[in-house]
């Protein structure tokens, strides 16, 4: 219902554009009718057309009003920007044009022999009759542009001035033209119309002007959207200070975008004393080529230590962890980002922000102390879509301090292979693997054993952007013990077969006691793959039939509430709003359906600016047509509310939040980890199209540069 309203209210101005346009054309031609009956007929047609166009105008608020209950953010652009020009034109039409049209028809005779009288021609050419009808079509066009193409976000001031200004300017032009036309027709002014050749010439010039203008917009869009070959990610010309104090000095640096800045360098943000000493756990991860077979096709993949997924890293809370990354893949740079772990900024693995990409034959040592528990994962952040897609990822588990792993505490990393270029698989074809299996992976678990199944969705994007990745566990009731690395307090038991959404980059830990029969984990978009646990490890279990409207796990009210360091009623030092939407546009020289944050793609997306210690609230609105798993590096955000309802279950901390179309979330985090942090959609195909922004701490700058010239390509261009 919500979706239908959102979509119909978006396309309804088309009706006004088309029928208003036809009515306007008809109205302009009335004066040319050859006889009385033709005039009567034409007036009637015009009236019918403009009634349909008016239905479009009335339908816009009618369809948008119910959207308000889902959030004013879904309706505000419709009411404040789309509607006014259409309403103005419609009122003008009904007040000025319709009575004149009606009189024209009433006073016309029914015969086909009498030509129009001079009075009739004069009345038919009246600008008060013609212009409003023509404006109705123009206003529909503006509505289409605003709601379908441009899709503005608050504040709308400039948009409101622009659309109404355009309407008024067009009205003035039309008015002048028709006033003169009426005077000529009424014999008040001599007809000194241009000759045939001149008219053709004018027409051609008009077409050429339109073609040139469209061409100029395309070329400008391409050129202006190209990322510079060398840019500074700690700077932005669109810094958003969230209503808190601004730093003029930082802003002045931001306007320059590149160059040398004073300030705290990200490389100094290395954890200080906390990361000194002998590491408790050391690992070496070597990025190398690896040929694997998925769905019967050989893929040239890449893996850490030649494994896909990469080796599981299992550490304890409090451990000092050291990982040496070696790159043996020819011709590319790689990094490791510790997804969900709040490491010091210099260890975050973002090329061009926190380090240089590690070139072939080189190495880099990561060092951080872990202060969290739960299920995380790691992946390369260089050309993230291409490299994660190709296999540079692995699971990472943090057990509580001093805890030993239970025997059936296990991870399963599911991966949807998207980009298999050399293997001629279409980009939109999906092949999923559960760990290393592209079919059904089987594991033995003795009946009666406690099982903790840690699911990591390492996919780069959902099989279908409009549906969130959904997993189903069958064969046993279970509990959702943790989401995105955070333990749920007192999780209740859930029925077997309940769907669990795990967005790309997200995780969920399911716990249960192993029954005598098999237990199967299935991703419903890829039912032929999965994981089956059984006492002897050989049993199979059929994929469940999961209806699109099957039961779904809801995190909002799951588990027991507990106290949190801040909440909905806290005083926030900064508040930000992010409207996620889509629409045609350019990113880095390419025209595509863009996925946008506040109407922009990188580098024009807002950079959220904070000061250390700030309590920050972010409202995220999913206003577009697809879902976005939003991921903030280096911080844990507390979800405060979902679609206006406070979260009442166990405190919901997250690093990756699946924002579905129609969702409004309020989240909050403490700015307690200074640095320059990526904040992006973890549908990495969206990341690659510029759905990226940064969280910046005032005064923090980076010595690293991104862009083709630097070899650092965090966004994957
Ligand atoms: Cu897992 Cu910036 O990402
Ligand atoms: Cu997205």
Nearest CA to ligand 1 atom 1: 339
Domain 239-262+563-701: which CATH class? mainly beta
In ligand 1, which atom is closest to the CA atom of 656? 1
C-beta separation of 449 from 513 below 8 A? yes
In ligand 1, which atom is closest to the CA atom of 678? 2
239-262+563-701 against 406-553: fold identical: yes
pLDDT higher than 70, residue 191? no
Q: What angle do helix axes 83-92 and 13-29 make, rounded to 10 degrees?
A: 30
Q: Are strands 393-399 and 313-316 parallel, antiparallel or unpaired?
A: parallel
Q: Which ligand is nearest to the CA of 341?
A: 1
pTM of the model: 0.92
HSE-up (13 A, CA, CB side) for residue 607: 27
Q: How confident is the model at residue 57 (pLDDT cuts 50, 70, 90)?
A: very high
Q: Under CATH, which number does the domain 406-553 receive?
A: 2.60.40.420
For residue range 26-53, list pLDDT tens digits in order: 999 999 899 999 999 999 999 999 999 9
For residue range 276-307, list pLDDT tens digits in order: 999 999 999 999 999 988 877 888 899 999 99
Q: In whole angstroms, how far apart are CA 643 and each of 8, 68, 345, 572, 665? A: 21, 12, 32, 20, 6
Distance between CA atoms of 639 and 646, rounded to whole angstroms? 9
Nearest CA to ligand 1 atom 2: 678
In ligand 1, which atom is closest to the CA atom of 339? 1
Q: How confident is the model at residue 228 (pLDDT cuts 50, 70, 90)?
A: confident
For residue 619, the cross-strand partners are 577, 666
Determine the distance separating the centroid of ligand 2 and the alpha carbon of 629, expressed in angstroms: 6
Distance between CA atoms of 376 and 69, rounded to whole angstroms? 36
Q: Are strands 615-622 and 653-654 parallel, antiparallel or unpaired?
A: unpaired
Determine the distance separating the centroid of ligand 2 and the alpha carbon of 683, expressed in angstroms: 5
Q: Which ligand is nearest to the CA of 456?
A: 1
Domains of the chain, by residue range, sit at 2-193, 199-225, 239-262+563-701, 269-405, 406-553
The pLDDT value given to residue 194: 67
Burial state string for 98-116 with b = 16 or more CB within 10 A and e = fewer than 16: bebbeebbeebeeeeeeeb
Query: Which of 492, 301, 283 lies closest to 393, judged by CA?
Result: 301
Q: What is the dihedral of CA 577, 343, 235, 220, to 10 degrees?
A: -70
pLDDT higher than 50, residue 351? yes
C-beta separation of 308 from 436 below 8 A? yes
pLDDT higher at 86 or 235: 86
Q: What is the DSSP string of 379-426?
A: E--TTHHHHHHTT-EEEEEEEPTTPPPPTTEEEEEEEEE---GGGT--
Q: In whole angstroms, how far apart are CA 653 and each of 64, 478, 485? A: 33, 21, 8
- Asked whether 337 lines ligand 1 (CB < 6 A), one says yes
The pLDDT value given to residue 293: 85
Distance between CA atoms of 399 and 397, rounded to whole angstroms? 6
Q: How confident is the model at residue 422 (pLDDT cuts 50, 70, 90)?
A: very low
pLDDT higher than 50, residue 421? no
Q: For the ranges 225-234, 452-461, 620-629, which has the lowest average pLDDT?
A: 225-234
Determine the distance separating the centroid of ligand 1 and the alpha carbon of 682, expressed in angstroms: 6
pLDDT higher at 528 or 326: 326
Nearest CA to ligand 1 atom 3: 339
Q: Please list the helix, strand and coil fractions of the chain in percent, rounded to the nearest 5, in that order.
A: 30, 30, 40
Q: Which ligand is nearest to the CA of 687?
A: 2
- Asked whether 121 lines ligand 1 (CB < 6 A), one says no
- Asked whether 381 lines ligand 1 (CB < 6 A), one says yes
pLDDT higher than 90, residue 717? no
Q: How confident is the model at residue 216 (pLDDT cuts 50, 70, 90)?
A: very high
Q: Which ligand is nearest to the CA of 694?
A: 1
pLDDT higher at 419 or 379: 379
Highest mean pLDDT among 460-464, 571-575, 703-707: 571-575
- Asked whether 505 lines ligand 1 (CB < 6 A), one says yes
Q: Which ligand is nearest to the CA of 659?
A: 2
Determine the distance separating the centroid of ligand 1 and the alpha carbon of 22, expressed in angstroms: 51
Distance between CA atoms of 286 and 336, rounded to whole angstroms? 11
Q: In this structure, which topology does domain 269-405 adopt according to CATH?
A: Immunoglobulin-like (2.60.40)
pLDDT higher than 90, residue 85? yes
Distance between CA atoms of 223 and 632, rounded to whole angstroms? 29
Q: Which ligand is nearest to the CA of 385?
A: 1
pLDDT higher than 80, residue 258? no
pLDDT higher than 80, residue 430? no
- Asked whether 617 lines ligand 1 (CB < 6 A), one says no
Q: How confident is the model at residue 420 (pLDDT cuts 50, 70, 90)?
A: low
Mean pLDDT score, 693-707: 92
C-beta separation of 243 from 575 below 8 A? yes
The pLDDT value given to residue 222: 86
- Asked whether 694 lines ligand 1 (CB < 6 A), one says no
In ligand 1, which atom is closest to the CA atom of 680? 2
The pLDDT value given to residue 545: 84
- Asked whether 379 lines ligand 1 (CB < 6 A), one says yes
How many CB atoms sit inside 10 A of residue 229's CB?
11
Q: How confident is the model at residue 22 (pLDDT cuts 50, 70, 90)?
A: very high
In ligand 1, which atom is closest to the CA atom of 340? 1
Whole-number mean pLDDT of the chain? Answer: 92
Determine the distance separating the centroid of ligand 2 and the alpha carbon of 678, expressed in angstroms: 14
Q: What is the DSSP string of 639-702?
A: EEEETTEEP-SS--EESEEEE-TT-EEEEEEE--S-SEEEEEESSHHHHHTT-EEEEEETTEE-
Q: CB neighbours of 145 closer than 8 A, spacing ≥ 6? A: none
pLDDT higher than 70, residue 370? yes
Rounded percentage of the chain residues whose pLDDT exceeds 90: 75
Q: In whole angstroms, how far apart are CA 313 and each of 137, 307, 324, 375, 394? A: 62, 13, 13, 10, 8
Q: For the ranges 83-97, 126-140, 170-184, which has the lowest average pLDDT?
A: 170-184
Determine the distance separating the centroid of ligand 1 and the alpha carbon of 380, expressed in angstroms: 8
Determine the distance separating the centroid of ligand 2 and the alpha carbon of 568, expressed in angstroms: 26
Compute and round to an integer the Cα radius of gyration of the chain: 31
Query: Which of 532, 567, 504, 611 lies closest to 245, judged by CA?
Result: 611
Distance between CA atoms of 435 and 458, rounded to whole angstroms? 10
- Across 555-670, where does the E strand assignment appear? 574-587, 590-597, 607-610, 615-622, 628-632, 637-642, 645-646, 653-654, 656-659, 664-670
Residue 516 in tokens: 């005598």
Residues with CB under 5 A from ligand 2 (ion): 628, 681, 683, 686
Burial state string for 498-509 with b = 16 or more CB within 10 A and e = fewer than 16: bbbbbbbbbbbb
Query: Which of 621, 580, 632, 613 lies closest to 244, judged by CA?
Result: 613
Token pair 């050859």: residue: 34
- Asked whether 418 lines ligand 1 (CB < 6 A), one says no
């Amino acid at each position: 219902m919500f979706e239908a309203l959102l979509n119909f209210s978006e396309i309804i101005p088309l009706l006004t554009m088309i029928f208003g346009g036809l009515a306007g054309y008809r109205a302009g031609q009335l004066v040319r009718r050859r006889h009385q009956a033709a005039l009567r007929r034409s007036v009637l047609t015009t009236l019918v057309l403009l009634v349909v166009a008016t239905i479009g105008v009335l339908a816009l608020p009618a369809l948008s009003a119910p959207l308000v209950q889902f959030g004013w953010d879904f309706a505000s652009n419709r009411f404040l920007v789309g509607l006014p020009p259409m309403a103005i034109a419609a009122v003008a039409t009904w007040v000025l044009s319709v009575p004149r049209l009606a009189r024209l028809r009433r006073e016309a005779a029914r015969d086909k022999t009498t030509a129009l009288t001079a009075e009739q021609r004069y009345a038919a050419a009246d600008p008060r009759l013609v212009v409003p009808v023509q404006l109705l079509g123009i206003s529909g066009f503006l509505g289409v542009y605003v709601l379908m193409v441009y899709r503005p976000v608050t504040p709308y001031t400039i948009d409101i001035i622009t659309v109404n200004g355009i309407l008024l300017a067009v009205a003035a032009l039309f008015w002048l033209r028709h006033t003169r036309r009426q005077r000529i027709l009424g014999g008040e002014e001599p007809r000194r119309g241009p000759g045939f050749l001149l008219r053709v010439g004018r027409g051609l010039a008009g077409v050429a002007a339109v073609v040139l203008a469209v061409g100029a917009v395309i070329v400008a869009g391409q050129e202006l959207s190209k990322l510079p070959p060398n840019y500074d990610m700690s700077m932005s010309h669109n810094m958003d200070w969230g209503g808190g104090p601004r730093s003029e000095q930082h802003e002045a640096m931001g306007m320059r975008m590149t160059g040398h800045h004073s300030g705290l360098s990200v490389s100094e943000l290395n954890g200080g004393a906390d990361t000194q000493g002998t590491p408790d756990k050391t690992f070496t991860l070597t990025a190398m080529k690896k040929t694997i077979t998925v769905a019967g096709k050989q893929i040239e993949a890449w893996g850490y230590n030649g494994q896909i997924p990469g080796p599981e890293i299992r550490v304890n809370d409090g451990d000092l962890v050291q990982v040496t990354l070696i790159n043996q893949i020819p011709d590319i740079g790689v990094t490791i980002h510790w997804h969900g772990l709040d490491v010091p900024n210099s260890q975050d693995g973002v090329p061009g922000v926190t380090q240089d990409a590690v070139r072939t034959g080189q190495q880099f040592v990561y060092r951080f102390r872990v202060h969290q528990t739960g299920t995380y994962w790691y992946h390369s952040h260089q050309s993230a879509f291409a490299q994660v897609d190709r296999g540079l990822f692995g699971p990472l588990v943090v057990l509580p301090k001093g805890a030993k792993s239970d025997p059936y505490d296990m991870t399963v990393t599911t991966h949807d292979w998207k980009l298999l270029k050399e293997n001629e698989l279409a980009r939109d074809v999906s092949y999923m693997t559960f760990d290393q299996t592209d079919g059904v992976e089987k594991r033995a678990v003795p009946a009666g054993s406690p099982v903790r199944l840690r699911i990591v969705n390492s996919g780069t994007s959902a099989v279908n952007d409009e549906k969130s990745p959904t997993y189903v566990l069958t064969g046993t009731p279970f509990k959702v013990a943790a989401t995105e690395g955070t333990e749920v307090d007192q999780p209740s038991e859930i029925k077997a077969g309940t769907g669990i959404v795990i967005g790309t980059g997200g995780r969920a830990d399911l716990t249960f006691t192993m029954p005598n029969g098999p237990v199967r984990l299935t991703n419903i978009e890829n039912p032929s793959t999965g994981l089956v646990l059984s006492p002897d490890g050989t049993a199979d279990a059929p994929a469940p039939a999961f209806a699109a409207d099957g039961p779904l796990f809801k995190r909002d009210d799951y588990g027991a509430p507990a106290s949190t360091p801040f909440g909905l009623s806290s005083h926030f030092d900064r508040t930000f709003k992010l409207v996620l939407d889509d629409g045609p546009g350019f990113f880095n020289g390419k025209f595509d359906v863009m996925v946008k944050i506040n109407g922009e793609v990188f580098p024009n997306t807002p950079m959220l600016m904070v000061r250390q210690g700030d309590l920050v609230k972010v409202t995220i609105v999913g206003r577009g047509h697809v879902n976005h798993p939003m991921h903030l590096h280096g911080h844990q955000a507390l979800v405060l509310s979902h679609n206006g309802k406070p979260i009442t279950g166990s405190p919901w901390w997250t690093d990756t939040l699946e924002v579905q179309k129609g969702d409004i979330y309020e989240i909050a985090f403490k700015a307690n980890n200074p640095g320059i942090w990526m904040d992006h959609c973890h549908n990495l195909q969206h990341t690659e199209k510029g759905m990226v922004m940064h969280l910046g701490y005032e005064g923090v700058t980076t010595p690293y540069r991104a862009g083709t010239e630097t070899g650092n390509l965090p966004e994957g261009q």
